[in-house]
Amino acid sequence: MQLPATCRSAHRGDPHTRTRNIRVATPLGFPGVSPVRRHATSSWALELPEGMLGRAVDPAPDSPYASMWILRGWLHDTAPSTAVVTTRPRKGVTLRSEARRLSAILLDGPMDGDGIDVEGARGARRIDGLVDLGEGVS
């Protein structure tokens, strides 16, 4: 299948990276969760409800990220949602410090987050919080 130019070029430095979008009939874990669709690149894979749609986009020229994937839609058919997956080369920054940087936008301020298991990862942390993006931004 020929991918759109934005998908072909979304992973800088690797023009042959293929992005995939595969429907998966059975969601993991929770009963009553909507059917999911699998989104994947050579770096990561993720399953999201079918109500979430999106694709790879080119990061801005001044972006620190090498690739970016944005999906928008609805979770549970009721909650407007946005999912973003970004990647960048590892450069020796600790996960805790990266967590503090990314969580600076949360109302509770920067935090280290908690360690979680992610298959295939050499380590992972998770942060949960509330964010106020302001009127007119969604």
Partner 1 sequence: MDRLALVIAAGRTELVMLSIRTRPADEAAAEVETAIRSLRLDPPIIRA
Please give the DSSP secondary-structure letter assigned to residue 116: -
Structure tokens at 119: 């298959």
Indicate the residue among 9 and 95 with the shorter CB distance to partner 1.
95
Query: Least distance from C-beta 6 to partner 1, angstroms?
Result: 19
CA distance 123 to 99: 12
CA distance 138 to 1: 32
Query: Least distance from C-beta 47 to partner 1, angstroms?
Result: 4
Query: Least distance from C-beta 48 to partner 1, angstroms?
Result: 5
Applying CB under 8 A, among 25, 132, 135, 136 the residue interacting with partner 1 is 132
Applying CB under 8 A, among 5, 79, 135, 136 the residue interacting with partner 1 is 79
Structure tokens at 21: 């979008």
Indicate the residue among 61 and 89 with the shorter CB distance to partner 1.
89
The torsion angles phi and psi of 57, rounded to 5 degrees, stand at -130, 160
- Report the SS3 class of residue 115: strand
Stretch that binds partner 1, among 2-10, 53-61, 128-136 (CB under 8 A): 128-136
Per CB under 8 A, which of residues 38..57 are in contact with partner 1?
38, 40, 42-49
- Neighbour tally for 49: CB within 10 Å: 19
The torsion angles phi and psi of 98, rounded to 5 degrees, stand at -65, -40
Residue 6 near residue 58 (C-beta atoms within 8 A): yes
**Residues in touch with partner 1 (CB under 8 A):** 1, 18, 20, 22, 27-30, 32-34, 36, 38, 40, 42-49, 66, 75-76, 78-90, 93, 95, 98-99, 102-103, 105-107, 113, 116, 118-133
